[in-house]
Amino acid sequence: QSQAQYQLLRSQKVKKIIAISFEEDGSPAEKFLLEQELSMDGKRLSTKSGIQSGKTSTVTSFFELSKLKRTLSNSNGIDNKMEYFYDNAGKLIKLSLTSGDTAVKYSTQEFRDWIYGANGLPESIIKVKNKTDSSIAKLVIDEDGNIAEEQWRRKNTALETYYYYYDPQHRLTDIVRFNQKLKKLVPDYVFEYDAKGRLIQMTQLSGSGKYFTWQYEYNEKGLKWKETCRDNERKLVGKIEYKYEFH
């Protein structure tokens, strides 16, 4: 979805996105800040969020040949750097994450490597944190070439398994795992799409066991212009509208 969103912003020559948040009574949230700017050449996407005239966090993403290559972010004094590496076919093969607090000279580093089979489909993910803490995920591929299961283990200990479900168009519809509180498999996320393949609803299970549902609306250019969030009692939790500026 994020790659498709980037391609849409480029094709529509979007320069800036300004988000306006609304309170439950419909009044604008005055201190809310969320803005994105995409450079003319499409190589840099900057996101600023937080509270106006207060603490903000920034995320800057860099693209090469329309693929995400590097992301730099800063929030509450913590610097994060993510780098993405691809093979000649354009498949993601490595992700590097470095986090650090320069004030206390503390940093962590994590690598993720994607292993592919002879058929070009992913077989496993290897995660190594701070050079010592390693875990591996075995990927189960269904008959349509989609990732159906992600089975994480550390040495001989099973950690967690994620189950993925898709519609006939190979669009992700459910992310499911075992919920310790409910003692059964339940979906963390459920996605619904419209006839044009756009995400129109996402339902998420929170840690407290409540469901929150986001609904999305799009303008004539296919750009998202409104999203609303309601709890499992259908009570409005929040609403955001988006305004666009173009190159």
pLDDT tens digit sequence for 106-145: 899 999 999 999 999 999 999 999 999 999 999 999 999 9
* Better-predicted residue by pLDDT, 13 or 26: 13
Q: What tens digit of pLDDT does each residue of 18-39 get?
A: 999 998 888 899 889 999 999 9
Q: Does residue 232 fall inside a structural domain?
A: no
Q: Does residue 3 fall inside a structural domain?
A: no
Rounded to two decimals, what is the model's pTM? 0.91
Q: Does residue 107 fall inside a structural domain?
A: yes
Q: Does residue 51 fall inside a structural domain?
A: no
Q: Does residue 90 fall inside a structural domain?
A: yes
Q: How many domains does the chain have?
A: 1
Q: Does residue 193 fall inside a structural domain?
A: no
Q: Does residue 112 fall inside a structural domain?
A: yes
Q: Does residue 146 fall inside a structural domain?
A: yes
Q: What six digits make up the tokens of 188? A: 């963390």
Residues 6+ apart with CB under 8 A from 38: 9, 10, 14, 15, 16, 44, 45
Looking up residue 152, the CATH number of its domain turns out to be 2.40.128
Q: Quickly state the pLDDT bin for 52 (edges 50, 70, 90).
A: confident
Boundaries of domain holding 148: 77-166
Closest CA to 151 of 169, 171, 135: 135
Question: Which DSSP symbol is given to 19?
Answer: E
- HSE-up (13 A, CA, CB side) for residue 177: 16
